[in-house]
Structure 1
């Protein structure tokens, strides 16, 4: 089969590799669409964002990774008799499998399992000739990790489920209550998913920030109440426009010293700042900055229930996944898709999708 293989940092090859086979643990899915995630770009550059988020450190990636964890398709093979009925079904996939026996797994925090195996990068597999991923004509997936895709949700729209699940998990950690005002720093895919999904939790005003004109335009089109063009105005000015001084819930999808300091300056008492970016940035603050029971927490990965809720939010039109997809390329042209994501001179890119 054809696949996009990251042979080493900055070297992505479209090539023929062995097609996976179903067995007692795995079924085989014909991939119909796979998103290029921001983390895929980081893997392409040689980083390991999963290790940074889950392990708190960067680790080298093995060679020959088939990238792609945001994917959906049709089940074509199953070997375990319990799952034969899935053949022919449209599915979205949960791209990770935890060990099930570590302290994190047994305490319900399986999304933080340090022994996780993950489709789309090398974590948890040991040594392999090619590490499985969704940027291929076919991909293996654990029998238990497929979710039936409603007819109303296209394969392309399903590529938004991974960032949407990450967004939902972050929202669930925030302590949001009905009527809360929300500030989202950064309007990439995760930020836009948060901006839309918080309405399901009873958010009142939702304000997003960015420096990219197209991202801000798209936020408005997706129903975000107001946006902050950080090149022209401050968050404080926009909050005043709505009669607000501070907000109780803030999500930082940017992760800089500036965004952290600004977020703390407008975080209301009993409020929560949720960080979705882990890097080596050093941020200095005073204990007084979190007085009044303010919280700073991080959010990592997602859980099965977040993924299921994401399907419902797209199916019911609460999250407009279709509008977030800005470019589509065939698998053969996967490098063009990464070039678009890597380009610094373009500002009309949100979600790039590969269709084998």
Structure 2
């Protein structure tokens, strides 16, 4: 047996190190990846603290982690585009190849999605394995090779960046757009960076914490910022945005006041992308939404091509070296931990101690 050290969430407030048997090649297109870097996501913390997110309820132990990059250690005989030693970003959600969602090109909406570190409600079936382990198995077509300019640490950030990519694609962000991003957490910051990369002329990031807003400017993701707690109402926000009403809203908080303000500041005919999830139903300013003829898009994870686009963004950003990078994505990595200290990493992020993106090394 090849040992596979793993970090396991057993139940609320209970994380342990366990050793399982490493996965093996079964299908010709299977690839075994030795995981090297894994980011902690807010969803991981939610399961740790509450044991559920919406209808996804933890009822049995689950290996944590879904934001990962690593090095290919084995390939099936049918693998054509990867070889042992290649560095890859791992896309953690595998749809049913038989679903209508997959066949129609919207595989992120597949009702039978097997998503890493997401509880499986099927009786008697184990949870999909997470990526916080030494060895992880994936189909070849859900791995993206990392170019030389993209480190394994950045590779672990491809997953949250892909959320921003998907949102900007849905909102059709392009050159000259004026974009407002609500929320300066990791997803909001990466959504703002994506909008900037897609050619937005102005990007304003809205949050209630000045240090997060400062980071949005420091990394080069925002041209403007606004503190919605101390800065005033929606008219003050527009004034802070050079008097411009944004034509694209990327709402990354799920908070009712932010959703309402997003509708208030949106330019007539604008596009509103809802990225953040709310804990319950929210009131929505439907009359103003209708009279402005806004278009609303729901955004869920990422779809076809989004992972590759995210890798391409990192590659283009760093092609001339770190010193000349337009956006300092690496500044978002505020904490790094060895695998043996992974529980400490989860506790730090859960405590809300200022971590933006926390990365954990793979097991040695």
| TM-score for the superposition, normalised by structure 1 | 0.91
1:8 is matched with 11
More displaced, 139-148 or 278-287?
A: 278-287
2:246 is matched with 247
Query: What SS does structure 2 have at the residue aligned with 1:278?
Result: coil
Q: Distance in 1 between matches of 2:312 and 2:81?
A: 25
1:26 is matched with 30
The residue correspondences of 1:261-276 to structure 2 (distance < 5 A) are: 261-276=260-275
In the alignment, is residue 322 of structure 1 matched against residue 330 of structure 2?
yes
1:55 is matched with none
Q: Distance in 2 between matches of 1:321 and 1:237?
A: 29
How far residue 281 of structure 1 moved from its aligned partner, in angstroms, is 3.1
- What stretches of structure 1 of length at least 5 have no aligned partner? 53-57
Deviations 1:176-201 (A, max 9, x none): 34211111000111111111111232
The residue correspondences of 1:200-349 to structure 2 (distance < 5 A) are: 200-223=197-220, 224-234=222-232, 235-279=234-278, 280-317=280-317, 319-344=327-352, 346=353, 348-349=354-355
Deviations 1:275-318 (A, max 9, x none): 11223132142424331311222100101311101001111115
**Cα gap change, 1:176 to 1:81, in 2 (>3 Å):** closer
Q: Distance in 2 between matches of 1:90 and 1:217?
A: 33
Pairwise CA RMSD: 2.1
Task: Report if aligned partners of 2:177, 2:202 keep a CA contact under 8 Å in 1.
Answer: yes
In the alignment, is residue 354 of structure 1 matched against residue 360 of structure 2?
yes
Query: What SS does structure 2 have at the residue aligned with 1:316?
Result: helix
Q: Distance in 1 between matches of 2:136 and 2:46?
A: 21
The residue correspondences of 1:101-112 to structure 2 (distance < 5 A) are: 101-112=98-109
Q: 1:37 aligns with which of 41, 50, 64?
A: 41
2:144 is matched with 147
Query: What SS does structure 2 have at the residue aligned with 1:82?
Result: coil
Q: Distance in 2 between matches of 1:307 and 1:17?
A: 29
Task: Report if aligned partners of 1:208, 1:228 keep a CA contact under 8 Å in 2.
Answer: yes
**Cα gap change, 1:140 to 1:208, in 2 (>3 Å):** same
More displaced, 257-266 or 197-206?
A: 197-206
Q: Distance in 1 between matches of 2:149 and 2:124?
A: 39
Task: Report if aligned partners of 2:205, 2:225 keep a CA contact under 8 Å in 1.
Answer: yes
1:87 is matched with 84
In the alignment, is residue 183 of structure 1 matched against residue 186 of structure 2?
no
Q: Distance in 1 between matches of 2:338 and 2:284?
A: 45
How far residue 46 of structure 1 moved from its aligned partner, in angstroms, is 3.9
Query: What SS does structure 1 have at the residue aligned with 2:89?
Result: strand
Q: Distance in 2 between matches of 1:118 and 1:75?
A: 20
